[in-house]
């Protein structure tokens, strides 16, 4: 599992929503979603705040990286982390400052490059194996955007206010999503946007009922974020 997946796992164990965790560390719900899905890097200073907010040991988040001690990269990462934790507060703040400035510089460089993703105005077109997109839409070449495989215009209000009807969504084609993720599903002859619950699909808009999971429900994609 990635560090983002471990953060999500710990958050759910603490019965926290993404908004709850975001409020504790001064970040938005969408930022937490990006961290958990590994589409955005996490600075060392922010990671320490997340560890404190979740009440977990750092080894819990890094356990998958340290499991195979034959990998030199993991050993290097582990030593760097241990060295960081053994320094004083002034040194940690200096390291945080340099890392954050480096990340900002890299993000500016990436934002000057563009990638193209197919844009679908109808979910039916997206569902047809991505063969019928006639429009390519350019996005800044960032980790957030590279994680997506297509852009899709939102087609219902079931996840309002997180995603409203006619929002432009960055999605990643996949056949399954994790608990608490939002996805695009085919249920019978209908296409729906819902959140994955425990044995059911959920809507944040209260006018829609939960839908029990069944073998005939097909996951088409995971919704990553809204494109402004």
Instruction: Give CA–CA dist 175/97, Å, rounded.
Output: 40
208, 215, 187, 180: which is closest to 123 by C-alpha? 187
User: Which of left, alpha, beta for 127 (phi over 0: left; psi -120 to 50: alpha)?
Assistant: alpha
Contact 184, 173 (CB under 8 A): no
The pTM of this model reads 0.56
Compute the mean pLDDT over every residue in the chain, rounded to the nearest whole number: 83
Q: Which two tokens stand for residue 228?
A: 């402004």
User: Which pLDDT score is estimated for 70?
Assistant: 38
Residues 6+ apart with CB under 8 A from 40: 31, 34, 143, 144
User: Which pLDDT score is estimated for 46?
Assistant: 79
Q: How many residues does the chain have?
A: 228
Instruction: Give CA–CA dist 217/201, Å, rounded.
Output: 10
Residues 6+ apart with CB under 8 A from 61: 3, 6, 7, 10, 47, 50, 51
pLDDT in tens, 134-167: 578 888 887 888 899 999 999 889 998 889 877 8
Count CB atoms within 10 A of the CB of residue 164.
Answer: 13
User: Which pLDDT score is estimated for 228?
Assistant: 72
Q: Which two tokens stand for residue 180?
A: 């608490």
User: Residue 38 pLDDT > 80, yes or no?
Assistant: no
User: Residue 81 pLDDT > 80, yes or no?
Assistant: no
Q: Decide: helix, strand or coil at residue 120.
A: strand
Buried b (16+ CB within 10 A) or exposed e, 136-159: ebebeebebbebbbbbbebbbbbb
pLDDT in tens, 178-197: 988 999 999 999 999 999 99
Please tell me which residue, 10 or 68, carries the higher pLDDT value. Answer: 10
Instruction: Give CA–CA dist 21/15, Å, rounded.
Output: 10
User: Which pLDDT score is estimated for 187?
Assistant: 94
The architecture in CATH of the region 3-110 reads Orthogonal Bundle (1.10)
User: Which pLDDT score is estimated for 72?
Assistant: 46
192 — phi, psi (to 5°)?
-135, 150
User: Residue 130 pLDDT > 80, yes or no?
Assistant: no
Sheet holding 150-153, edge to edge: 135-140, 114-120, 150-153, 168-173, 217-227, 182-187, 190-196, 200-202, 211-212
DSSP 8-state code for residue 96: H
The architecture in CATH of the region 114-227 reads Ribbon (2.10)
For the chain, the structural domain boundaries read 3-110, 114-227
């Amino acid at each position: 599992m990635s560090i983002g997946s471990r953060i999500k796992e710990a958050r759910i164990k603490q019965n926290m929503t993404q908004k709850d965790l975001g409020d504790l560390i001064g970040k938005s719900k969408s930022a937490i979603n990006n961290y958990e899905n590994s589409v955005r890097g996490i600075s060392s200073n922010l990671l320490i705040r997340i560890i404190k907010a979740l009440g977990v040991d750092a080894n819990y988040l890094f356990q998958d990286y340290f499991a195979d001690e034959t990998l030199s990269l993991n050993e290097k990462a582990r030593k760097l982390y241990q060295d960081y934790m053994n320094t004083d507060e002034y040194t940690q703040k200096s390291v945080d400052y340099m890392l954050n400035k480096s990340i900002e510089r890299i993000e500016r460089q990436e934002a000057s490059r563009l990638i193209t993703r197919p844009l679908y105005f109808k979910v039916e077109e997206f569902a047809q194996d991505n063969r019928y997109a006639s429009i390519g839409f350019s996005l800044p070449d960032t980790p957030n955007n590279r994680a997506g495989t297509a852009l899709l215009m939102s087609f219902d209000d079931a996840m309002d206010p997180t995603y409203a009807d006619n929002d432009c969504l960055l999605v990643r084609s996949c056949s399954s999503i994790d608990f608490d993720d939002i996805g695009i599903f085919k249920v019978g002859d209908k296409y729906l946007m819902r959140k994955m619950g425990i044995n059911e699909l959920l809507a944040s808009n209260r006018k829609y009922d939960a839908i029990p999971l069944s073998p005939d429900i097909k996951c088409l994609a995971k919704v990553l974020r809204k494109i402004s």
